[in-house]
A and B are shown apart, each in its own frame.
Chain A
Amino acid sequence: MTELTFPAVLRRGLPRARYIALAVRLAAAAAIAIYALTTPGFLTLLSANALFTAISFVGCVAVGMTFITLTGNIMSLAIGATVSASALIFLACLSLGILPAILVALLFGVVITGAQGFLVGHLRANPILVSVAALSLLLGGAAFVTGGHHIYPSGAGLEIFKDRFAGIPIDAWCFFTTVAVGQFILSWTRIGRLMTMVGSNVRAATAAGVSTTATVTAAYVIAGACASISGILLAARYGSGDMEIGVGYDYTAIAAVLVGGTGIAGGSGSTLRTLVGVIVISVIEVVLLLRGFSEQLQYLITGLLVLCVIMLHTLGERR
């Protein structure tokens, strides 16, 4: 009898295990939300602004990483270094003007990451190994070119990045735009669909005539562009750069991607989910800080909660 009380759509669309997983997920989300909202200071404009700025940089990277994960290639460990290198290139090219500098930095991220995608897609090389090689290349190359020094802006014009639009920092706007464009690519373009197919099952995609090389390369190109956007934003905001500003962004990004619910196995995911993942992790971090937990506890609790969320997702997928 109780079954009849469920809405018919839900009953048909969701087997029991998934229904339970969904319920647990909603309950968890509600718990986090309530805990956050009752934290003194959380619901202030001050906090919201600080949050939005903070999530923008790693958020852009996470959007890009979504594409790599979605095509079944887990993650790239070179993305953090790509963020740093893009920042350096942007600052070094600023003397050419702000737009050319942005374009050169974007091109760099696209080429260096797209090349990884080509190797992964064409040779079916292990994506982690390829990204480790790219990481060494980036670090070595940067050390060679800059001698490890800080890079400072070679031109002016960075002030526009400190502006706000409708009360929200430019960095946050860039992030939200990246999310929207990413989602548009996934839902409304052919290449987006092909990425889902390749990520879902490479062999089936090949048999269906999909060019895995082109598709995987495209995913990495997007990831590279996103990493460059993050690098440009960082460089513009802090007016200097070195190879360490992007350190760890790859790991934070993949955590956000997984917390958002994009499957590590590939074939399903969206940048909107990643947006949720980024916000969830940041909210957890912020709330723990606002409530005055010690650093050690902050790390511990954040790690545990991230783990729990990811486990909840796998629970929902298994049948």
Chain B
Amino acid sequence: MPVLAIDGVTKRFGPNAVLKDVSLALDAHEVRAVCGENGAGKSTLVKVITGLYAPDEGAVCVDGTPVVITSPQHAQELGIALVAQELSLAPALSVLDNIWLGNRKVPLLHRRQELRARARAALDKLGLNDLALDTPASALSIGRRQLVEIARMLTRDARVFILDEPTATLSDVEIERIFAALRALKAEGKSVIYITHRLGEVFEICDSVSVLRNGDLVGTRRTNEIDRGTLMQMMLGRSLGEMYPAWESSPGDPMLMVKDLHVPPLVRGFDLTAERGTVTCLAGQVGSGAITVLRALAGLTPGASGEASISGKPMRLRTVARAQAADVKFISEDRAGEGIFLRLTVGQNLIATKLKDHTAFGLLARRGLRATAASLAAAVGVDRKRLHSPADELSGGNQQKLAFGRWIGGDRPGVLLMNEPTRGVDVGARAEIYRLIRQFCDRGYCVVMASSDIEEVLGMADVVVSMYRGRQVARYRRGETDMQRILADITHPAAA
């Protein structure tokens, strides 16, 4: 009998179904990978299993009995444990205290020795024999914190461990430790749900894999029955459609040159050349350094060092003002936190970078600003009637258009950097944003974007630079590559 079974679960948010009739079953001694693109429904699935979301249809069964999981605490009582990535340990407390913290089964009058012995046993099982129980959690690396977290779950008699991208920010040595721990769990008879983008890991550590796409379960296979190619097709498997604008890709003059860029601790010695009038895509997963590189070029990383030049003129890193003086414009991956001013109006957002052009002796020409805001709204396709609405009333797509709008205009075409430009943007607005990006190219801009969406990378790029852990893996011109190649590059290039 499966330890955990999900039976025909559907979850909707408003009209959108993010999980559609998903069923899967997990046995003891099984490590199950769950794969899928961003937005495929992986995290929703986890939230259903851990009691954060109630499914609209279907049920979760534990040991064959349907249960209504009401909260993460309830899930834990049922033996289902989510291993959080890093933040769940109290940094000031010792490893021992962290392991027992919040455990309801510890009696008020307990024998400290016994607790020590049990914590020690759990840590030893996971290969942490060298870790002293009295070490403060703050002294541990992220990888070790995850292992302590797993030990904590072990002492609570968890049977199903859920790990969500545990290796995204880890070094090779630490990844190996996690794998060893997972094998130990498996030998103990525990079950693991392992969510990952890295296909290499699926074949290295998992017994089986379930693939989600757009909320559908594409299928579940044993890893020894399929190969990487099959898995990738399961994950992507749809045509690119009419989403992306058509254009003639031709090389331009080199405009942005980056040499030996260092952004500690991730990026060491990164080089890049991007051409005028083209889109260069840095393709990479979380932790690949693609986003980090562009943030540094935008002047947002104080610790960055290296050489950069725009059209032959050297540009100094580390402040936004210098980057902007060199005509470098940046669209953030964190739209709500950094990309736009959510609490200001649409109009104020559009003119955020235009104030200087409409100022004389420190005074604003308000009429000119109003006209500019109106024309920018028209240029990016935001309703002019909404100029006075707060930006947070707009959809994600329209908010992103505001971020584009503020960079339209100016005398000279420059360099437009953007991170994950369509994150959280619905399909319709995506197409409009892609058109906007091409318009920047047509005006002579050099566009560089970082993206973890391979489909988008292939649809938009004149040049693709695939990245893995802070380094370039390969560089392709349009038409020289395909999804499988890029996916292989950015998931686990050593195996490719």
**Is the pair A201, B321 in contact by a Cβ cutoff of 8 Å?**
no
Given known contacts A201-B337, A201-B342, A207 and B298 CB-to-CB distance under 8 angstroms: yes
Minimum Cβ distance to chain B for residue A189 (Å): 5
Q: Please count the residue pairs between chain A and chain B whose beta carbons lie under 8 angstroms apart in the complex.
A: 68
The CA of A201 and the CA of B339, in the complex, are separated in Å by 10
Name the B residues within 8 Å of A197 (CB-CB). 341, 344, 348, 352
Name the A residues within 8 Å of B363 (CB-CB). 188-190
The CA of A189 and the CA of B359, in the complex, are separated in Å by 8
**Is the pair A204, B341 in contact by a Cβ cutoff of 8 Å?**
yes
Q: Which of A13, A189, A267 contacts B341 (CB 8 A)?
A: A267
Where chain A touches its partner, the secondary structure class is helix
**Is the pair B321, A209 in contact by a Cβ cutoff of 8 Å?**
yes
Is B445 an interface position by the 8 A CB rule?
A: no
Is B332 an interface position by the 8 A CB rule?
A: yes
Minimum Cβ distance to chain B for residue A171 (Å): 28
Q: Which of B338, B359, B362 contacts A203 (CB 8 A)?
A: B338
Given known contacts A189-B362, A190-B355, A191-B362, A201 and B343 CB-to-CB distance under 8 angstroms: yes
**Is the pair A193, B339 in contact by a Cβ cutoff of 8 Å?**
no
**Is the pair A203, B344 in contact by a Cβ cutoff of 8 Å?**
no
Given known contacts A197-B341, A201-B341, A204-B339, A190 and B364 CB-to-CB distance under 8 angstroms: yes
Is B486 an interface position by the 8 A CB rule?
A: no
Is A208 an interface position by the 8 A CB rule?
A: yes
Is B440 an interface position by the 8 A CB rule?
A: no
**Is the pair B359, A208 in contact by a Cβ cutoff of 8 Å?**
no
Q: Which of A188, A207, A267 contacts B338 (CB 8 A)?
A: A207
**Is the pair A203, B337 in contact by a Cβ cutoff of 8 Å?**
yes
**Is the pair A193, B355 in contact by a Cβ cutoff of 8 Å?**
yes
**Is the pair B337, A204 in contact by a Cβ cutoff of 8 Å?**
yes
Contact with A along B460-483 (1 / 0, CB 8 A): 000000000000000000000000
**Is the pair A204, B340 in contact by a Cβ cutoff of 8 Å?**
yes
**Is the pair B356, A208 in contact by a Cβ cutoff of 8 Å?**
no
**Is the pair B362, A200 in contact by a Cβ cutoff of 8 Å?**
no
Is B300 an interface position by the 8 A CB rule?
A: yes
Is B366 an interface position by the 8 A CB rule?
A: yes
Q: Which of B323, B324, B343 contacts A268 (CB 8 A)?
A: B343
Is B406 an interface position by the 8 A CB rule?
A: yes
Is B123 an interface position by the 8 A CB rule?
A: no
Within 8 A of A (CB), among B435-465: none
Name the A residues within 8 Å of B366 (CB-CB). 188
Specify the chain B residue showing the minimal Cβ separation from A190: B359
Is A183 an interface position by the 8 A CB rule?
A: no
Q: Can you spell out 11 A-B residue pairs with CB atoms less than 8 angstroms apart? A: A13-B388, A188-B366, A201-B342, A203-B338, A204-B338, A205-B341, A207-B298, A207-B320, A209-B320, A267-B343, A268-B343
Q: Besides A190-B364, A268-B343, 10 other CB < 8 A contacts?
A: A188-B364, A189-B364, A190-B359, A197-B352, A200-B342, A200-B343, A201-B342, A204-B341, A206-B300, A209-B353
- Please provide the 5 A-B residue pairs with the shortest distance between their CB atoms, ordered closest to farther: A209-B324, A203-B338, A190-B359, A200-B341, A209-B320
